[in-house]
Amino acid sequence: MIYEVLKAGDPVLKKISAPVEKIDRRIRRLLDDMHATMLLYNGIGLAAPQIGKNIRAVVIELDEKRYDLINPKILKREGKVIDTEGCLSVPDLFGEVERSEKVEVEFLDRYGKHRKIWTEGLLARCVQHELDHLDGQLFIDIAQSVHRGEEK
Ligand code: ZN
């Protein structure tokens, strides 16, 4: 099913989300629905709070590779880079956000397998953006500047 994406101002987006306790068919169905919702709205990442569920689950799809991140946690960071970000929960606004250039993230995959990957570039930015959602933070809360449209 396709979910409605909550918009900035909704209190659900400001909450700290709870860890996923059990990885089963229900959570896999939710991840699939999040993925379908994300693709429909042309996003590259979506966090569960954005569809009204305060649990620590994220989907990302970049370069035709899909990532399902359950209970993700950043272990290491390297470098700093500023770039433009947008968000399905903040329509029409873009911002310049400083992020770590590379991050190592550990998580459980959709079958509960423990995984650890190094990410960089847009994937690293996306991971950091989505993990912020799990802690109730939007990019507009930390952006150096915010503007309408993708051009600065
Ligand atoms: Zn977002």
pLDDT digits (tens, 9 = 90+) for 22-52: 999 999 999 999 999 999 999 999 999 999 9
What pLDDT digit, counting tens, does each position of 55-99 carry? 999 999 999 999 999 999 999 999 999 999 999 999 989 999 999
Find the Cα–Cα–Cα–Cα dihedral 114, 118, 120, 126, rounded to 10°.
Answer: 20
CA of 119 to the centre of ligand 1 (A): 18
Amino acid at 51: I
CA of 33 to the centre of ligand 1 (A): 17
Amino acid at 63: D
Residues belonging to the active site:
130
Q: Which residues lie closer than 8 Å to 37 by C-beta, 6 or more apart?
A: 2, 3, 5, 46, 51
Helix (H) or strand (E) segment spanning residue 26: helix 25-40
Instruction: Judge whether residue 103 has pLDDT over 70.
Output: yes
pTM of the model: 0.96
CA of 139 to the centre of ligand 1 (A): 7
Cα 125 → chain centroid: 9
